[in-house]
Chains A and B, each alone.
Chain A
Amino acid sequence: MDCAPISTGLSPKPLRTERSLRSRYGALVAALLGTMAMAATAAGAELLPAEQAFRFSARALDDRTLEARFSIADGYYLYRDKFTFVVAPGGAVLGAPELPPGKIKTDEFFGKVETYRGTVVVKLPLSGAAAGQTVVLTADSQGCADVGVCYPPTRQKLSLALPAQGAGPGALVDATPPKKSWFK
């Protein structure tokens, strides 16, 4: 197996394999530890998969309003102008999303750029759907991590049952349910 030394350059503490690579026998060690170095990439970066860094959930407030929510992990941010929301099946249509103001920073290439951290709640006007109907909400978002990497646009999907008339808001549905872990 041909496996190059992979450095993430992200971990504040160099990985064991990275330190080894700087040694005199770097090439040899790299060849021997090739498989290990590859495994270390995923763990060493400690970079969350996009679905976990930008956790998407939503609920139906009523049959005419959906509420999308992104819980953004510490050290990560989302771009305000990169959201796209689509609802299915045909007939159901979303109006313009009501995005709260973000934090503005000046980007030398794009000018003013608005970003979100923490939790973002977006109201989505819905038409053409009936109370009690189930709709599928698809959200595209795009963000980066402070360690210096960006994610490609990420698509997340969930199904929402619209509440019956007068029944009050539906339950919050997670696109990616939290993973069970033995260590928590």
Chain B
Amino acid sequence: MTRGLVRGAIVAGVALAALAAGVYFSQMGSRDPPVAALLGLSLPDVDGREQRLDQWKGKVLVVNFWATWCEPCRKEMPDFVRAQADSGGKGLQFVGIAIDQPDKIRQFSNDLKLNYPSLVGGYGALELSKTFGNELMALPFTLILDRNGKVAYAQMGPLKPGNLDAIVGKLL
């Protein structure tokens, strides 16, 4: 009986330790300095309202660095609009960070009927993408964060629609 209790206590202890480790490691993602810097960003939207990126914590977050003067960026954005419409309800959230002027961002957002926010980022925001491997600060650059704020995918250059669906599908 006593041996059973001891064994039970050991099992419980190990389980507790594993749980603690799991919680600890699941939080590691958001403690990742580049992610923390990204989620701590506050950038104005096209109407001048400051938007913090951590307001979307807990969602599968797709952060897309783009510009209206970047043709390859504009080409892939209809796929983002479609994915946002299809999977927004399941916890998918796209956020654009445009390295551009607000009036141009607004015009393009209206033209495309953008259904997710596009924030106005400057050179500093683009420089942040370097910490995720975008050494040349090229556009488009897309980061996909899982619900724990851990980088699940990063890509320089346009995402293939099939790729996007496959990556996001696994995280939702």
| Chain A residues engaging chain B, CB cutoff 8 angstroms | 2-10, 38, 41-42, 45, 47, 49-50, 79, 82, 107, 109-110, 142, 144-145, 147-152
Q: Does B53 contact A (CB under 8 A)?
A: no
A107: B residues at CB distance < 8 A = 71
A95 to chain B, nearest CB (A): 26
List the 4 closest pairs (A to B, CB-CB), nearest first: A4-B151, A150-B70, A148-B72, A149-B138
B137 to chain A, nearest CB (A): 5
Bound CA–CA A72/B73 (angstroms):
21
Neighbour of B73 across the interface among A6, A10, A49, A150, CB < 8 A: A150
Check if A2 sits within 8 Å of B150, measured CB to CB: yes
Query: Given the known A-B contacts A42-B135, A109-B111, A150-B69, are A6 and B29 also in contact in the complex, defined by CB atoms under 8 Å?
Result: no
Q: Does B24 contact A (CB under 8 A)?
A: no
Closest to A50 in B: B136
13 more CB-based (< 8 A) A-B contacts, given A8-B155, A49-B136: A4-B133, A4-B153, A6-B154, A7-B155, A8-B157, A9-B155, A9-B160, A10-B157, A149-B140, A149-B156, A150-B67, A150-B72, A152-B99
A23 to chain B, nearest CB (A): 14
A41: B residues at CB distance < 8 A = 133, 135, 156
Check if B138 sits within 8 Å of A7, measured CB to CB: no
Q: Does B88 contact A (CB under 8 A)?
A: no
Query: Given the known A-B contacts A38-B133, A42-B135, A49-B136, are A7 and B72 also in contact in the complex, defined by CB atoms under 8 Å?
Result: no
Check if B153 sits within 8 Å of A2, measured CB to CB: no
Check if A7 sits within 8 Å of B154, measured CB to CB: yes
Closest to A148 in B: B72
- Can you list 29 A-B contacts (CB < 8 A)? A2-B150, A2-B151, A4-B133, A4-B150, A4-B151, A6-B133, A6-B154, A7-B154, A9-B156, A9-B159, A10-B157, A38-B133, A42-B135, A45-B156, A79-B69, A82-B69, A109-B68, A109-B108, A110-B68, A110-B69, A142-B69, A149-B70, A149-B140, A150-B67, A150-B69, A151-B136, A151-B139, A152-B123, A152-B139
Q: By DSSP majority rule, is chain B's interface helix, strand, loop, or mixed? A: mixed
Neighbour of B138 across the interface among A82, A109, A150, CB < 8 A: A150
B114: A residues at CB distance < 8 A = none
Check if B156 sits within 8 Å of A4, measured CB to CB: no
A151: B residues at CB distance < 8 A = 136-139
A115 to chain B, nearest CB (A): 10
Segment 128-155 of B: residues with Cβ below 8 Å from A: 132-133, 135-140, 143, 150-155
Q: Does B126 contact A (CB under 8 A)?
A: yes
B106: A residues at CB distance < 8 A = none
B44: A residues at CB distance < 8 A = none
Q: Does B32 contact A (CB under 8 A)?
A: yes
Check if B139 sits within 8 Å of A6, measured CB to CB: no
Query: Given the known A-B contacts A144-B70, A151-B136, are A6 and B111 also in contact in the complex, defined by CB atoms under 8 Å?
Result: no
Check if B139 sits within 8 Å of A150, measured CB to CB: yes
Write out, one digit per residue, whether chain B residues 42-70 have a CB within 8 A of any chain A CB (1) or not (0). 00000000000000000000000001111
Bound CA–CA A148/B94 (angstroms):
21
Bound CA–CA A47/B134 (angstroms):
11
Bound CA–CA A6/B69 (angstroms):
24
B72: A residues at CB distance < 8 A = 144, 148-150
Query: Given the known A-B contacts A9-B155, A9-B159, A150-B67, are A2 and B123 also in contact in the complex, defined by CB atoms under 8 Å?
Result: no
